[in-house]
Structure 1
Amino acid sequence: MARGSGREDSFDCIFLADDRFYLEGYREGFEAGSRRGKLEGRRHGASHGAKFSTEISFYYGFAISWKCFLQKDVDAKSRKRVKALETFLMLIQMSSHEDAQNKNLQHNVERVRAKFRQVCSLLNVHTDFNDYIKGSSGMSF
């Protein structure tokens, strides 16, 4: 009996080898995929974070520049534009952009973009942020 059980154990080992190799391969593949996924996720997050930061920084610099330019004028139209720019600046500063986990982040960004379009309409300037970025890509320092 002991001899038969040894033979059965060796046959079981052979028959179960497929399952064992499958499970080992799955585990190794899962671990490798998890590591690669984390690296790709970091790279993707950094890329989108940089684009987002560039956009918000552009809006802020745009508003500051126009506000400085228009403060010299005292007519009613210029005061209305400056007021819109101040509101735009306040919206940018009050919106939380640092926390990527913030549930309101997308909503805040959409509000900033909408206000940017409104301010551009008041100033009679083009509203596409991507055109501004493309236009400045040829600059070198």
Structure 2
Amino acid sequence: MAGGSANDDLFDSVLMSDNRLYQEGYREGFERGTRRGLRDGRLHGSSHGATMSTEISFYYGFAIAWKCILQDSTDAKSRKRVKALEALLALIQKSPLENPQSPKLQEDIEKLRAKFRQVCSLLNVPADFKDYVKNSSGVTF
């Protein structure tokens, strides 16, 4: 029986090594996946943040430029346009842009986009942000 137990131990060690290798492979794969997921998440987050920042910066510059253009106009239509531009600027100023974890961020971005479309309608200019970015991509200084 002593010989049988040695064979059993050898058989058990083969079975246990298979299980041990499976566990080590799982752990190593999990660690690699976690590292890669963090890296990909950071890359996606910085890319998405840069896109959002570009969009909001465009809205701000757009509103400032149009406000400067219309500031000397005295007719009622121009005053209404300036008031809408000031409302857009106020929305930009009070948005929680410093805190990307804010639950209100997406809601505020949607409000900004809606206000931008309203201002563009009042100014009779195209309201698609992507059109402005696409048209200015060839500009160099």
TM-score by length of 1: 0.94
Taking only aligned residues, the RMSD between alpha carbons, in angstroms, comes to: 1.3
1:14 counterpart residue number: 14
Please show how residues 64-83 of structure 1 align to structure 2 within 5 Å: 64-83=64-83
The unaligned stretches of length 5 or more in structure 1 are none
Match of 2:122 in 1: 122
In 2, distance between residues paired with 1:80 and 1:49?
32
Match of 2:29 in 1: 29
Please report how far the alpha carbon of residue 49 of structure 1 lies from its aligned counterpart in structure 2 after TM superposition.
Answer: 0.5
Number of aligned residues: 141
Shift of 1:8: 2.9
- Partners of 1:58 and 1:139 lie apart in 2 by 15
The whole-number CA distance in structure 2 between the counterparts of 1:134 and 1:117 is 18
Instruction: Within 5 Å, give how 1:19-58 maps onto structure 2.
Output: 19-58=19-58
TM-score w.r.t. length of structure 2 = 0.94
Query: Unpaired segments of 5 or more residues in structure 2?
Result: none
> Which residue identity is paired with 1:45?
G
- How far residue 10 of structure 1 moved from its aligned partner, in angstroms, is 2.5
The letter for the 1-side match of 2:95 is: S
TM superposition shift of 1:6: 4.5
Q: Percent identity?
A: 65
Q: Give the corresponding residue for 1:87.
A: 87
